[in-house]
Each structure stands twice: as C-alpha cells, then as structure tokens.
Amino acid sequence: MATLRRLREVPRHLLVCEKSNFGHDKSRHRHLVETHYHNYRVSFLIPECGILSKELKNLVMETGPYYFVKNLPLHELITHEFINTFVKKGSCYALTYHTNIDEDNTVALLPNVVSIDLMDLSLNLDSKKYERVSWSFKEKKPLKFDFLLAWHHTGAEESRMMSYFSSYGIQERQPRVALSTASELQCPVLRSGELGGAPGAACSAPELLDWLGAVFSNAQLNNEPNNFVSTYCCPQPSTVVAKAYLCTITGFIVPEKIRLLLEQLCRYFDEPKLAPWVTLSVQGFADSPVSWRENEHGFRKGGEHLYNFVIFNNQDYWLQMAVGANDDCPP
C-alpha cells in the first residue's frame, strides 16, 4: 500500500521566475544559457509575425551538426589526442545515448568541469593521476557507450569529429527543424513589470509557461465541451493575433548556438514591431546527469529541466527555470 501511495503522489516540481533587463550589468541571461549544457529542444514564438527574418532563419539552419558514435570506449575521451584536438580548442560536449539516468551507467562531458577534470589532466599527461584514470577506463572497467557528441569552436577550421572517430562508425546528424504559423492565435496579455500578473490587466509568468506548453503541443485552446483531450484555454486577459510564427529545433544543441538565437531575438525589436514580446524555450535531455553547471539531475517521474525567456520590446525579460523530482533548485 505504501508503494501504491508513493506512485499516486504528484511529483515535486520547482519553477523559478525572475525579471531583469538585457542591458543591466548584473543580468544573468548569458551565464544561465552557457551553463545549461545538454539541450534537446529549442523553440521560439513570435506573435504578429508571418515570415521569419533572413538573419533568424540562417541561425536556425546553422544550429548543427552534432554526431552519433556507437560503442565508443570511455577511455577515448581522455586520450592525449582527444584532449589536445577538442577539449583545448573549443567547447566539447558529450552525452550517453539510450541510457536511463536512474537505472544505467551514464556519462556526460562538460566544456569546463567534470568529475574527472580533463583540463586538469591536460596540464600533465604523464602524471600518475592520468595513468591511473586511463588504466581504470581501459583495463579495470572498460566501459563502452553510444554517445552524442558536439564541438563548438571559433575560426574557420572544419570539425574533425568525423575523421577522428571514423573507426567507430560515426554519423553526422543535423537538428530537425519544424517551422509553422498559427492564425488567429489567442495570446496572454503580459506586462514586463508584472511578473506575478495583475488581476484583469495582465497574466503571470507561470500562466504564460502553461500556455506555451499547450501551443507547442498543438493543443486546442478553445475549451469546447465536446473536447475530451484538453479543456485548457488561454489565460485571461488575452488578445488575438492575426499570425504567430513558431519554430522548434530538435537535436543536440550547444549553448553557444542558443546564445546566438537569444541575441538575435533581442535584436528583433531594433525596428518597431506589432508584437510586444517574443519567447525562447529550451528543454534539456531528460537523462542528462546534470541540469545547470554541475547540479545533479535525476529522472524519477519526468526528468524535466528547462528554461524560458520572455523578451519584451523594451529589452526587459522574464526568465523561467524549471526542474522536477529530486533536483536542487535551479541556480
């Protein structure tokens, strides 16, 4: 009976909402994007927009590539050559694929710090510490995993991932992009200074997040009595926009690409627009061992770790960060 009661419990979720301005010296927006390492899906919504700008569309189409490597021995990620080729020359990300974080061995490579600090090892590749770690991975516990890999680097140098891991059957993949427009979309009314909403005047940040989830799930928002799938409707007050542009990118997306998208969406209001705000939503891999930075992440009943920006036309923004189950509070 105790087990049954636990299964019926509503899992704990944490949602942190804050507001700031992109021009403020102490704004945390860049840091929060850059330290959310393993991103599975990126979505943005632009009200009163029927055609995407050339600049935004180019960024959307340039979010890849990433790579899939099958049965890669773990020790390959700590070799001299790997560290010198990828770790020292850019930001390298890796995540085991088709592993369940609460059941299986799971490995993640972060661009700066991991339990075994590759940058620390790289300072002395002849040290006893390096030899012991290498021996553990190669001989004592020779683990192999399917990996997703991504490498962000500056300069014109082509990615060497394909040639470097050619003996392991590496595949180059491009993120999947879905573009669409919604007509006569009912949108919440928001005020940048009213994070908690204002009765009869503006909706709150949590209400907006629920609405975004429904929109990107293609749910019907009219609350018709014969709709047995969803009775959800747009929070009030609301307004109807003639068109809204929706974009969803799915794959293994590095934080540097997301930061560029955020910056371009901020520039969307450089010229007068009908839209008072736009949104950028990012979801992490459910089975990533970390959420932000080195914060431990678990799956339990959901595995969610996500954030959402609401970008207002005066450069104010709302930032919403959510995790579930046993995760610590978002940073």
Using one digit for the tens of pLDDT, what is the confidence trace for 126-169? Answer: 666 666 666 556 655 568 889 999 999 876 566 788 999 999 98
Distance in angstroms (rounded) separating the CA atoms of residues 179 and 185:
16
pLDDT at residue 177, rounded to an integer: 96
Q: Report residues of the chain scoring pLDDT below 70.
A: 1-13, 101-103, 112-142, 155-158, 223-229, 287, 291-303, 325-330
In this prediction the pTM is 0.86
| Ramachandran bin of 218, using left for φ above 0, alpha for ψ from -120 to 50, beta for the remaining angles | left
Closest among 285, 279, 288 to 310, alpha carbons compared: 279
Are 36 and 284 in contact by the 8 Å Cβ rule? The answer is yes
The tokens describing 44, both together, are 């943005």
pLDDT at residue 18, rounded to an integer: 93
Name residue, tokens 């003639």: 242
Specify the amino acid at residue 288. Answer: S
* CA 321 from centroid of its chain's CA atoms: 11
Q: How would DSSP label each residue in 188-244? A: E---TT-TT-BTTTB--HHHHHHHHHHHHTT---B--TT-SS---B--SSEEEEEEE
